[in-house]
Structure 1
Amino acid sequence: MSNPGEADLTPISSTRELAEWFAAGSKDRADWRIGTEHEKFGFRRDDLSPPPYEPDGIRAMLEGLERLGWEPILDSGNPIGLKRGGASVSLEPGGQFELSGAPLPDLHAAEAELRDHLAEVREVGGTLGLGFAPLGFHPLARREQMPWMPKGRYAIMRNYMPRVGTMGLDMMLRTCTVQVNLDFGPEADMVEKLRISLALQPLATALFANSPFAEGRPNGLRTLRGRVWTETDPDRTGIPAVAFEPGFGFQRFADWVLDVPMYFIMREGRWIDCAGASFRQFMAGGLPDHPGVFATMGDWADHVTTVFTDVRLKRFLEMRGADAGSPEMMQALPAFWTGLLYDDAAQKAAAALVRDWAVPEMQALRLAVPEQAIHTPFRGRSLREWGRDAVAIARQGLVARGMGEERYLTALENVLEAGETQADHWLRRHATVWDGDLARILPEAAI
């Protein structure tokens, strides 16, 4: 989850302004960029326990990175993030360490950014006895063993999540992801990109499956993180049918987001709990418990960040379906989506691949994927076969860009060739080399 942005106190006078907020993200092709986000679990190398915020934990990591040129982001006086250039470091609720990368022109720049970030994390973490492992779900810790970071918005969400799903707190505390943010052109281009990426998000979940363990033992799934998201607040998650309705565009999406229940607003540096209230009602009449507080564009921008659909439309498109994984897989994720969506011919081929998929089929596939991942049957084929088609299109798209970026797809192609996801790799290690000792996974997965 992102760090809080700068407040925009412009009053909202019409829903059209909300649609225009999304439309302002439209960019000329020459200005399209790639922004990668990746999370990892911290652990103490001496006993593998999750590090607290303090002492000698996550706060010390942030302060160590400050000495390398990062500027702190504060919440009630506590450092809860960092910024440098166009990139930021933020904390997930359980201390998962996230880099939200800068908008970059190509995948080579994204690789360099990832390499530099991991080197800095190793440098600072090494002095504190901390390691960091990118896995989709924490393989060892129980929910109550995870720390809570001192971010005001998380306290509000912590109270609300148990009211709207069985695994929302697990999502907050015990999951890690890798995501990519991509740009769009005019409204029609946004619509096509959003539909392609929503349809193919269950495939991405399968390809990047990397969470087969929980609380020290196999959990029976390939991606427990994928299952967690099916049990988290249905009002704001999943594959929204509205995106596939005739006439869908910026205005229709804004209308849908208006009815997603709120979590909070910020005033004078303080988070105000309004969990469950409708933003539409907030716009119309303010907040009953806070007279004189009315909706602003800054409130809208914050509210949009609380929409957790498998692909999130902001002023860019955010692909949200994948488990965190190895550095090679962290780089394969932006390569996959860039190849599909940043070349016209590839985008048209991807659109043709999914054109006749019905929304209920996609939603059913999303529910089925956590167990079998790429071996999940779909429309008479396995997702492994569908994955070969999609990755081939992505490769063609990257080749057409002419930058030599197609090499970043090799890790995905290896998954499809072997028929073995990262989860399968770890399950095999657990059953053979580790002889059932799951404590081995965090040191081996550490970056």
Structure 2
Amino acid sequence: MSAPPSGGGAPIENRRQLIEYFAAGNKPRAQWRMGTEHEKFGYHTKTLKPLAYDGPDGIRAMLEGLTRFGWEPVIEGNNPIALLRGKASITLEPGGQFELSGAPLETLHEAAAENGQHIDEVKQVAGEIGASFIGLGFAPEWTREDMHWMPKGRYKIMREYMPKVGKLGLDMMLRTCTVQTNLDFDSEADMVKKFRVSLALQPIATALFANSPFKEGKDAGFKSYRSHIWTDTDPDRCGMLPFVFEDGFGFERYVDYMLDVPMYFVYRDGKYIDASGQSFRDFLQGKLPARPGELPSINDWADHITTAFPEVRLKRYLEMRGADSGPLPALNALPALWVGLLYDQGALDAAWDLVKDWSTADHDFLRAETPKSGLSTMFRGRVLSELARDVVEIAHAGLRARKRLDAHGADETMYLAPLDRAVASGQAPADELLAKWKGEWKGSFAALFRDYAY
């Protein structure tokens, strides 16, 4: 979900500092990088049950085993809860989902190499303890009761708060996995255009990467049940953010949004202090019930912005959050899609032309329908796979224009191959899984865990 927090520091003196926090993300094009994050489920290879934290074959053993590759542990209490190596990190989701947050890299070739190295390291350690890992958007068989909570203070607070604001928040925490891409901008205007394009097209990514059609051993009735879960998690901090498309949107408007997102916690002296449901606006006035008389620091603001979960999230970069996790080619395809769309001006302009006349009703329709129907969704008289084909073609053009070649002279368009197949067939990964489950697997998931493990 996020790197370890950093709370504390010099107090915020005025609201302008909150705006300047985001503006500090502006970077000249030459300094633009990409970061890829992906989550995966760990399970016992013999029993196909999820890994607990403790024990010789648990998540803690995975973290400790990975230190042989130069990863440094991050400790909370007496427990390793994350690993750091250079600018990359490995963190834990609430149910033990393993997340790689990759380093900021220049090319998709570097990102693919990083993903491949990470999977190789994870497989080596997992094999020694009888574990395996798989990339899916939602756990296909496991119930909430099957899952094991990780020993992180942040998650204890969220666990208690989530049922107060939505029905599916605990499922989001315990049983979902995503792949995410983080991208830069060079100015406020550039951020605005990229935010609008990526937010409008996020449902297209949801459909292309849909990989969670099962729930507790049955057909969930969704191609991306993971995506659906976010619609009933917490309306205060999730969704499509219609204000992004309004005139005047910029850093300041996003600050207003974040000030209206209820808090989860304040981090002090290595501990999480429960501030769930409280207001950062009150915090700015020294009136936070959890810390009466205390003013927040910019580090508290940085922690707070990690507690909003819209389909696209602004930090000092933009996060694309709409896709299910999947096999290694999918983990490389997501950054390829968004880099192709957003990092070449011609492609960005073409993508904007595609979506600029969409209404709020259009955005809401796509957000609601694509988790159910995927690429077969009908939108504006067209099947969504046709629109997705247009989007992927724009991404191809954007990557060709970048001319970033590997050692063999191949450009970055190779990483779009899974999406080329999806738009040609009209079939996302979920469609393939459903067909096999209803056919050759005869309703069993043993083959899924065997054939689709990393």
Q: Would you say same fold, with TM above 0.5? A: yes
Compute the displacement of 1:107 (Å). Answer: 0.1
Q: Which amino acid aligns with 1:46?
A: K
Cα distance in 2 for residues equivalent to 1:78 and 1:38: 22
Cα distance in 2 for residues equivalent to 1:378 and 1:14: 45
What residue is the counterpart of 1:3 in the other structure?
A: 3
Cα distance in 1 for residues equivalent to 2:283 and 2:445: 48
Once structures 1 and 2 are overlaid, which stretch shifts more, 17-26 or 358-367? 358-367
Residue deviations 1:147-185 (CA, integer Å, cap 9, x gap): 000010000000000011110000000000000000011
What residue is the counterpart of 1:94 in the other structure?
A: 95
Q: Which amino acid aligns with 1:283?
A: L
1:276 aligns with 2:277: yes
Cα distance in 2 for residues equivalent to 1:295 and 1:359: 35
Compute the displacement of 1:77 (Å). Answer: 2.1
Residue deviations 1:312-366 (CA, integer Å, cap 9, x gap): 0000000000000111111110000000000010000001110001123102210
- Sequence identity (%): 55
What residue is the counterpart of 2:361 in the other structure?
A: 360
Change in CA separation of 1:8 and 1:107 when aligned onto 2, cut-off 3 Å: farther
Helix, strand or coil at the partner of 2:285: helix
Cα distance in 2 for residues equivalent to 1:258 and 1:13: 15
1:32 aligns with 2:39: no
Gaps of 5+ in 1: none
Compute the displacement of 1:290 (Å). Answer: 3.0
Compute the displacement of 1:444 (Å). Answer: 1.7
Q: In the alignment, is the contact (CA less than 8 A) between 2:11 and 2:295 conserved in 1?
A: yes
Residue deviations 1:394-429 (CA, integer Å, cap 9, x gap): 000000001200111111010111111100111111
Helix, strand or coil at the partner of 2:69: coil
Q: In the alignment, is the contact (CA less than 8 A) between 2:274 and 2:290 conserved in 1?
A: no
Q: Which amino acid aligns with 2:416?
A: L
What residue is the counterpart of 1:351 in the other structure?
A: 352
Residue deviations 1:35-89 (CA, integer Å, cap 9, x gap): 0001100010010000100112000000000122100011112100000011000
Q: Quick one: which of 430, 449, 454 aligns to 1:442?
A: 449
Q: In the alignment, is the contact (CA less than 8 A) between 1:34 and 1:334 conserved in 2?
A: yes
1:158 aligns with 2:159: yes
Helix, strand or coil at the partner of 2:323: strand
What residue is the counterpart of 1:20 in the other structure?
A: 20
Q: In the alignment, is the contact (CA less than 8 A) between 2:340 and 2:398 conserved in 1?
A: yes
What residue is the counterpart of 1:125 in the other structure?
A: 126
Q: In the alignment, is the contact (CA less than 8 A) between 1:216 and 1:439 conserved in 2?
A: no
Q: In the alignment, is the contact (CA less than 8 A) between 1:131 and 1:443 conserved in 2?
A: no
Compute the displacement of 1:237 (Å). Answer: 0.5
Q: In the alignment, is the contact (CA less than 8 A) between 2:280 and 2:288 conserved in 1?
A: no
1:233-382 residue pairs with structure 2 within 5 A? Answer: 233-382=234-383
Compute the displacement of 1:146 (Å). Answer: 0.4
Compute the displacement of 1:8 (Å). Answer: 4.9
Once structures 1 and 2 are overlaid, which stretch shifts more, 189-198 or 65-74? 65-74
Q: In the alignment, is the contact (CA less than 8 A) between 2:238 and 2:308 conserved in 1?
A: yes
Cα distance in 2 for residues equivalent to 1:216 and 1:309: 29
1:426 aligns with 2:417: no
What residue is the counterpart of 1:402 in the other structure?
A: 403
Compute the displacement of 1:431 (Å). Answer: 1.5
1:417 aligns with 2:424: yes
What residue is the counterpart of 1:149 in the other structure?
A: 150
Residue deviations 1:226-245 (CA, integer Å, cap 9, x gap): 11011110111011112111
What residue is the counterpart of 1:226 in the other structure?
A: 227
Cα distance in 1 for residues equivalent to 2:144 and 2:307: 22
Q: In the alignment, is the contact (CA less than 8 A) between 1:238 and 1:363 conserved in 2?
A: no
Q: In the alignment, is the contact (CA less than 8 A) between 1:212 and 1:219 conserved in 2?
A: yes
Cα distance in 2 for residues equivalent to 1:2 and 1:74: 15
Q: Which amino acid aligns with 2:21?
A: W
Cα distance in 2 for residues equivalent to 1:171 and 1:417: 31
Cα distance in 2 for residues equivalent to 1:417 and 1:397: 20
Q: In the alignment, is the contact (CA less than 8 A) between 1:133 and 1:443 conserved in 2?
A: no
Q: Which amino acid aligns with 2:399?
A: L
Cα distance in 2 for residues equivalent to 1:291 and 1:304: 21
1:205-224 residue pairs with structure 2 within 5 A? Answer: 205-224=206-225
Q: In the alignment, is the contact (CA less than 8 A) between 2:53 and 2:150 conserved in 1?
A: yes
Once structures 1 and 2 are overlaid, which stretch shifts more, 171-180 or 240-249? 240-249
Gaps of 5+ in 2: 405-410
Q: Which amino acid aligns with 2:176?
A: T
Cα distance in 2 for residues equivalent to 1:34 and 1:189: 16
Cα distance in 2 for residues equivalent to 1:237 and 1:295: 24
Compute the displacement of 1:295 (Å). Answer: 1.1
Compute the displacement of 1:269 (Å). Answer: 0.9
Compute the displacement of 1:300 (Å). Answer: 0.4
Helix, strand or coil at the partner of 1:26: coil
1:182-201 residue pairs with structure 2 within 5 A? Answer: 182-201=183-202
Change in CA separation of 1:84 and 1:369 when aligned onto 2, cut-off 3 Å: same
Residue deviations 1:15-44 (CA, integer Å, cap 9, x gap): 111010000001000000010001100010
What residue is the counterpart of 2:408 in the other structure?
A: none
What residue is the counterpart of 2:46 in the other structure?
A: 46
Residue deviations 1:109-159 (CA, integer Å, cap 9, x gap): 000000100000000000010000000000010011100000100000000
Compute the displacement of 1:289 (Å). Answer: 4.2
